[in-house]
């Protein structure tokens, strides 16, 4: 659920019994991300260079690239996909899986919006304005799609590699991405959850013809 989940790494205040090394890694990771968001807010995406990001995050440019393969990824990457899938697997097994999906997505959206609304908004905005970001976003959505596909497959008694499952999940993802775009285009004025419900309805039931 890349577009509406927050950017932060994990639990961040409580870092359990991880070694100092691991904790530092998490810290630089979020430092880089925070620096990036700040700079983008100030100057926009294109004007922000990786060198500037490195400077503000107080690391070397090399390190930035070690943590994020591309500049777009700094903005886009999150760690919520596995959580999302786990959540889906925990739904009661006899629930129709479209309904499960609905629940899980709804929850993901709620959490994302609550936990880091700014990041969520910045992401959607960039998705709208910067083609490279949008492209990469779709790409990463397709990864999410594959994970969902696995879960869906299990439930629906098909293989995750089957054409049917893949087409279905990707069409789902494609549709939902469009919701984010629509939301951003209208300056975040609509209620995201409601847009999402409408979208799900369309995807499930198709587009009723108004003039037959």
Partner DNA sequence: CCATGAAATGAGAGTAACTCTCAAAAGATG
Partner DNA sequence: CATCTTTTGAGAGTTACTCTCATTTCATGG
Q: Of 16, 82, 92, 206, which lies in the binding site for a second copy, with binding defined by CB under 8 A?
A: 206
Q: Of 12, 41, 42, 69, which lies in the binding site for DNA, with binding defined by CB under 7 A?
A: 69
Tell which residue, 37, 67, 66, has the closest CA to residue 52.
37
Least distance between a second copy and beta carbon 5 (Å): 19
Residue 59, interface with DNA (CB under 7 A)?
Answer: yes
- Comparing CB distances to DNA, the nearer of 61 and 160 is 61
SS3 letters for 141-185? HHHHHHHHHHHHHHHHCCCCCCHHHHHHHHHHHHHHHHHHHHHHH
Residue 73, interface with a second copy (CB under 8 A)?
Answer: no
Residue 15, interface with DNA (CB under 7 A)?
Answer: no
Residue 204, interface with a second copy (CB under 8 A)?
Answer: yes
- Comparing CB distances to a second copy, the nearer of 59 and 203 is 203
Partner interacting with residue 62 (select from DNA, a second copy, none; CB below 5-8 Å by kind): DNA
What whole-number distance in Å separates Cα of residue 202 and Cα of residue 157? 24
Residue 142, interface with a second copy (CB under 8 A)?
Answer: yes
Tell which residue, 51, 76, 73, has the closest CA to residue 63.
51
- Comparing CB distances to a second copy, the nearer of 21 and 205 is 205
Q: Which residue reads 């198709």 in tokens? A: 206
- Comparing CB distances to a second copy, the nearer of 54 and 180 is 180
Scanning residues 19 to 48, which ones bind DNA (CB under 7 A)?
Answer: 19-22, 24-25, 28, 48
Tell which residue, 88, 70, 58, 84, has the closest CA to residue 6.
84
Radius of gyration of the chain from Cα atoms? 18
Residue 137 tokens, joined? 């976003």
Using the contact rule CB under 8 A, the part of the chain among 13-21, 56-64, 76-84, 162-170 near a second copy is 162-170
What whole-number distance in Å separates Cα of residue 111 and Cα of residue 139? 23
Scanning residues 78 to 97, which ones bind DNA (CB under 7 A)?
Answer: none
Q: What is the DSSP string of 113-141?
A: HHH-HHHHHHHHHHHHH-HHHHHHHHHHH
Interacting residue ranges for a second copy, rule: CB under 8 A: 96-98, 131, 134-136, 138-139, 142, 152, 155-158, 163-168, 170-179, 181-182, 195, 198-199, 202-204, 206-207, 209-212
């Amino acid at each position: 659920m890349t577009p509406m989940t927050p950017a932060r790494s994990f639990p961040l205040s409580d870092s359990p019994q991880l070694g100092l090394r691991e904790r530092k890694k998490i810290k630089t990771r979020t430092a880089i991300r925070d620096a990036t968001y700040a700079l983008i807010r100030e100057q926009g995406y294109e004007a922000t260079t990786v060198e500037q990001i490195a400077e503000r995050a107080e690391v070397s440019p090399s390190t930035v690239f070690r943590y994020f393969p591309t500049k777009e990824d700094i903005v886009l990457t999150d760690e919520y996909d596995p959580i999302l899938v786990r959540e889906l697997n925990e739904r009661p097994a006899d629930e129709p899986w479209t309904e499960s999906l609905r629940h899980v997505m709804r929850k993901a959206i709620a959490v994302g919006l609550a936990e880091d609304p700014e990041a969520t908004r910045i992401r959607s905005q960039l998705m709208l304005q910067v083609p490279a970001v949008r492209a990469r976003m779709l790409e990463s959505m397709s990864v999410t799609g594959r994970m969902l596909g696995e879960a869906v497959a299990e439930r629906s008694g098909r293989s995750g590699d089957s054409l049917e499952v893949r087409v279905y999940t990707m069409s789902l993802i494609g549709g939902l991405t469009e919701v984010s775009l629509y939301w951003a285009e209208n300056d975040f004025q609509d209620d995201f959850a409601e847009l999402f419900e409408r979208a799900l309805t369309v995807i499930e039931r198709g587009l009723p013809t108004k003039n037959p």
